[in-house]
Amino acid sequence: MPVDQIYDITVIGGGPVGLFAGFYGGMRGQRTKVIEALEELGGALTAIYPEKYIYDIAGFPKVLAKDYVEAAVEQAAGMGCEFVLKTAVTSLTRDEASGCFILGTTTGTHYSRTIIISAGIGAFEPKRLEGPGIERFEGGGGVHYFAKHVDDFRDRHVLIVGGGDSAVDWANTLAPLALSLIHI
């Protein structure tokens, strides 16, 4: 195992807790990296709630989720934390001779003296709609599985399918902006 590729701390999961772990490791002078399965850091805050206010973060009376994630990424990066995105960890073993962990991932092998698992609820895979030709409506065609910006739905007719917390939150957020909104 190449010595220059061994990190002191590797954090699996780039949500808010993983970002703080990456920041803190760097602040303490540890060579630190965060491995995230998604293409963006922030976990559920980025994937599901980017435009939602958070009220329970110390030091912030309220902060938009996307703004909090941006600040957390900047803070961790400022301490030298490195980020590996679009990379899922597929195996974790320990080399008994060196004491290092070997992480197999979808993009290669990583080595670390310490592992912090901060996986939260894990990588997000939406339950996709089924039906012939649905693919042509996904992405820019009107069917969205994740809502990134509220303005994308301003003055539009919106249908939200789902009964989970995020569906209700998005219905409440978009109702004042949309021409019409149906939540089923």
- Read off the pLDDT of residues 77-116 as tens digits, 9 standing for 90 and up: 999 999 999 999 999 999 999 999 999 999 999 999 999 9
In this structure, of 11-15, 20-24, 111-115, 179-183, the range with the lowest mean pLDDT score is: 179-183
pLDDT of residue 122: 66
In a domain, 122, yes or no: no
Do 60 and 24 sit in the same domain of this protein? yes
Domain count, the chain: 2
In a domain, 125, yes or no: no
Domain end: 117, 147, 162, which one? Answer: 117
Cα(124)–Cα(9) distance, integer angstroms = 24
In a domain, 129, yes or no: no
Cβ neighbours for 168, distance < 8 A, ≥ 6 positions apart? 183
Residue 166 pLDDT level (bands cut at 50, 70, 90):
confident
pLDDT of residue 124: 65
Higher pLDDT, 29 or 171: 29
Is the sign of the CA dihedral 46, 47, 53, 54 positive or negative? Answer: negative
Do 81 and 153 sit in the same domain of this protein? no
Mean pLDDT of the chain, nearest integer: 90
Cα(14)–Cα(84) distance, integer angstroms = 9
